[in-house]
Amino acid sequence: MRPGGRGAGGGPSPMETETAKTSTKRRNKDVSDTEVTSCKQKMTYIRSRRGLFKDHNPIYEDLTKKEYPVLLQSASNELTHKVPMDILKVNGILKEILGVQYVKAAGNFYVKVYFGCAKDANAFLLNKPILQENNWKATIPYDSIECQGIIRAPVDLSEETLLEDLKASCMILGVKRFTKKQDDGQFKPLPTVLVTFMASSRPDHVIYDHIWMPVQEYIRPLLQCFRCYKFGHGSGACKSTQVCSICSAGHFYKECTTPSVFKCSNCSGPHSAVSYTCKVKAEKIAQIKNKINGKFSYATAAAIAVTPNNSTNPNSKILKTPAKTPHGRAMIADIINSDIVLNAITKTIVELMKKREVNNTSSGPLPISSQMIKELLVTSFTT
């Protein structure tokens, strides 16, 4: 029998067995690499004005909401051409849909459908037959499941790379790198990147490879309509007639016959409606800046809490920020995720236990007042 040949049982030799194992491992590794590569190739993205987003159809996962809105629009909509939605027709069709509470117009091209529970809303989002039959596209409104934050990332990292490789405590849906237009007309990429998360509050950081990037609060820029030139909505949701940004008459600015005579449609001043010299626009911008500048440290917050006559303190209004607002949720997230707060609370608890033991008398431990807790908390913040 030749060396390395099979014996009477026909089984492989030890050398052949080891070779087969190695070959199998290599083959499994090759298959695994192929699967990973194919998965990456299957990942598709959608580019829009909001940035680069993962192509996905999210559904509601939070079951604690009071209502669950679904945004309806025509499936034929494009960036340059949108099809109006007939709310009466939509309402008639939705009478047969389970769980619909009410329907509300959201501009000329969108309709919001409100459901009472997540199960019914998700069933409608995944109901392809009725969506295809009526040429509808159903999505969850951005502000219902998303939040945004700002990071600073090297300009060498593309949006595709960031969207694929950024990691966070919640799902990252999209990224948008800000740019600045140069004198030659070219756009220069900036380190500032807007990240959209699928969460009710933004995480405090993201990670690229081993690089830790803090996430800062994002305050949306002032939104101005280019149809009526009012603030707070876009032209896609505007039902007003066209206004000239130059003379404030009822025509498009390119059709203006008096291009040298300015009259603002918001404040009647001698400037265009998009000018930053407009008093109304300046007030709106100041409100946004106040939201940013109104943030305060945790130590300051604790100091304000123990200030006598707190109701007369002008800074006390800051503490009344509703927790349900985006600013309030971001503030709460900052406090919860702060090591400073955690250490201060821990120190305060330890000091309270010590005082409780020291002040223990025959009639029992002395009561711990809220004033004592506040004083200890302030001390813990400042030491």
* 347 falls within a domain: yes
- Cα(211)–Cα(165) distance, rounded to whole angstroms? 11
250 shares a domain with 188: no
Handedness of CA 241, 246, 249, 254 (dihedral sign): negative
Read off the pLDDT of residues 7-56 as tens digits, 9 standing for 90 and up.
434 445 544 444 444 444 444 444 334 333 334 445 678 888 888 888 77
- Cα(91)–Cα(111) distance, rounded to whole angstroms? 10
299 shares a domain with 369: yes
* 231 falls within a domain: yes
Q: What pLDDT, on a 0 to 100 scale, did the predictor assign at position 106?
A: 87
**pTM strictly above 0.85:** no
Chosen domain end from 281, 305, 326: 281
- Cα(139)–Cα(58) distance, rounded to whole angstroms? 8
367 shares a domain with 311: yes
Chosen domain end from 185, 215, 245: 215
Q: What pLDDT, on a 0 to 100 scale, did the predictor assign at position 196?
A: 93
- Cα(20)–Cα(282) distance, rounded to whole angstroms? 75
140 shares a domain with 65: yes
Domain span including residue 353:
294-383
Q: What pLDDT, on a 0 to 100 scale, did the predictor assign at position 220?
A: 77
Question: For residue 285, what pLDDT band results from cuts at 50, 70 and 90?
Answer: confident
* 50 falls within a domain: no
* 22 falls within a domain: no
Res 175 pLDDT > 90: yes
- Cα(136)–Cα(142) distance, rounded to whole angstroms? 18
- Cα(151)–Cα(5) distance, rounded to whole angstroms? 64
CATH of the domain at 115: 3.30.70.330
Q: Which of 202, 191, 188, 204 is nearest to 153 (CA)?
A: 191
Res 204 pLDDT > 50: yes
- What are residue 111's DSSP bridge partners? 72, 105
Res 289 pLDDT > 80: no
Q: What pLDDT, on a 0 to 100 scale, did the predictor assign at position 380?
A: 67
* 18 falls within a domain: no
Q: How many domains does the chain have?
A: 4
160 shares a domain with 118: no
Residue 56 identity: H
